[in-house]
Copies of this chain bind each other. A is one copy, B any other.
Amino acid sequence: MNTAAPLRSRKAQIDRVATSLFRARGFAATSMRELATELGLEAGSLYSHIKSKEEILHRVCFGLAEEFFAAFAAATADTTAPIATQLRLAIEGHVRVLTRDSAASTVFLQEWRHLSEPARTDFLALRDRYEAAFRALVQQGIAAGELHAPDAAFVALTLLASLNWLPAWYRPDGKLTPDEIAHRLAEQLLGGLLVKD
């Protein structure tokens, strides 16, 4: 009778282990047999919990997209705050999502192209919307005279690129906490942009 809870946690466990394998070997090079072995069961048994290999990838990619949007919305909720503050909060929020689960983040950043259509197109649309939101914030900052930069698109691209490199070198047991990293990244990346009084 009490099967709902164990099933849910088993599925979550499959997602978690699969995600770490996808990061280590890539989605295409990870076999369901490898995943099953890591979980201590047979390959066929996986399919009583999931529908397909891609379903896992789909959940990881779209789940993280949702987290990024939620963090951005929270960072920019107070529209009366200075744009520089909103941008700083958005950077910190982005970093917080990236470091909360760096395996999932890496899969989100690198393995989305193994999604088949139409999921792949949908995913790219979400990513573009997110980048556009960052770009718009930078643009507002320039318009408000809080930031100086010749090209908001360039700024947004290099900003996100710098942040998205984080999962490649972040170690949870490193010297800096995620919040400290976020703070330093925000300082450094905004340092050259802020208009000095």
Contact = CB atoms under 8 A, between A and B. Distances in A.
Interface of A: 25-29, 110, 113-114, 149-151, 154-155, 157-158, 160-162, 164-165, 169, 184-185, 187-189, 191-193
Number of copies of this protein chain within its complex? 2
A197 to B, nearest CB: 14
Is chain A's interface secondary structure helix, strand, loop, or mixed overall?
helix
7 contacts: A150-B187, A154-B185, A157-B162, A157-B169, A161-B161, A161-B164, A188-B192
Contacts of A185: 154, 158
A191 to B, nearest CB: 4
Contacts of A191: 192
B158 A29 contact: no
